[in-house]
Each structure stands twice: as structure tokens, then as C-alpha cells.
Amino acid sequence: MGSSRKDLFAFPAEARYIAGKELRLVQDGGHPSDFKPMPEVGAGAYEIRIWTGTTWRVIYVAGRADFIYVLHCFQKKTQQTSKKDIDLAKRRYKRIGKEMQ
């Protein structure tokens, strides 16, 4: 959704590799190795947590068995996910709302 793909490709190689591996697990019906629910974004939204010396996040929704929506990819710089990042993911979530029902 939005600039998520471009943002993910801007991650450093190690973080991008981990994100790809974790997203593949989700596509195959599994769960990422380190994730948490993001109910403040919307029902079924999750945040993949990536640690490479720097903290990276990928917020996604598994819409159906055959694909997922990546709502937002970003570098996390504080302990708590910023309101700006949550609000962006929420806006993108609302755009797919009808497809999720």
C-alpha cells in the first residue's frame, strides 16, 4: 500500500532480507518469528519486529490466504511506535477495509 514497497526496498540489505523472509512465512500461512498485534491500526493488523542493531518495522494485514497487505515499513527510533506511523497505517488500512470484509 502506498509507498510501502519503496520504503521496504530502502531498508539496509540485512533488514530487507529478514523482512522478506518474515513476509514469506505469513504468505505461507505461518507467523513471523517476532511480531505483535496492532489493534490500534485495525482488526488483523500486525507489526513484524526486525532487529539489526537498528530497529525496523513492517505493519501488515493478512487479507486472504493468497496475499497480504503491507501497510507501512519504517525505521523505529523510539520505544513506542509513533502516532504518525500508526496514523499512516490506519489510513492505508481503511482503504482496504471493504476488501477485508
Here the CATH number for the domain that contains residue 40 is: 3.30.2310
pLDDT tens for each residue of 37-64: 999 999 999 999 999 999 999 999 986 6
Please check the confidence at residue 101 and state whether its pLDDT lies above 60: no
Whole-number percent of the chain with pLDDT over 90: 76
CA distance 66 to 74: 24
Count structural domains, the chain. Answer: 1
Instruction: Note down the domain range covering 43.
Output: 4-100
Q: What pTM was estimated for this model as a whole?
A: 0.90
Q: At 33, is the pLDDT very low, low, confident or very high (cuts 50, 70, 90)?
A: very high
Question: 25-29 contacts: CB < 8 A, separation 24 or more?
Answer: 26/60, 26/62, 26/68, 27/67, 27/68, 29/65
- Nearest Cα neighbor of 74 from 62, 92, 100 is 92
